[in-house]
Amino acid sequence: MWNLLALRQIAQRTISTASRRQFENKVPEKQKLFQEDNGIPVHLKGGVADALLYRATMILTVGATAYAIYQLAMASFPKKQD
C-alpha cells in the first residue's frame, strides 16, 4: 500500500507544471537593451558573447567556403594517369 502511495506522489510531482522556484522577469530589461537606438546591429547587442559567436561563425563560413572552392578546383583538374 505504501509503495502505491509513494508511486502516486512521485507521478504527481514529475507531471506537475508548477515551478519550484520563481525567476525574476528580465524581459523588460532585455526589451530596453535591444530597442535602444545606438547604431549597434541587433545581432550584436547581447554583448561580448554575441560578438564572439558572430566572429566564430564568420570565420567558419569563410573557411568552409574557401575549402569548398579548393576541393572543386582539385576535382575539376584530375591528376594524369601514368
CA distances from 19 to 16, 26, 33 (A): 8, 17, 27
Percent of residues, the chain, with pLDDT higher than 90: 61
What's residue 19's pLDDT? 61
| Domain parsing of the chain, residue ranges | 40-77
CB 42 within 8 A of CB 34: yes
5 or 19: which leads in pLDDT: 5
Residue 82 pLDDT exceeds 90: no
The CATH number that domain 40-77 falls under is 4.10.91.10
Residue 20 pLDDT exceeds 70: no
What's residue 1's pLDDT? 73
**pTM of the complete model:** 0.60
The tally of CA atoms less than 13 A away on the side-chain side of residue 59 is 6
**What pLDDT, in 10s, does the model give residues 31-46?**
999 999 999 999 999 9
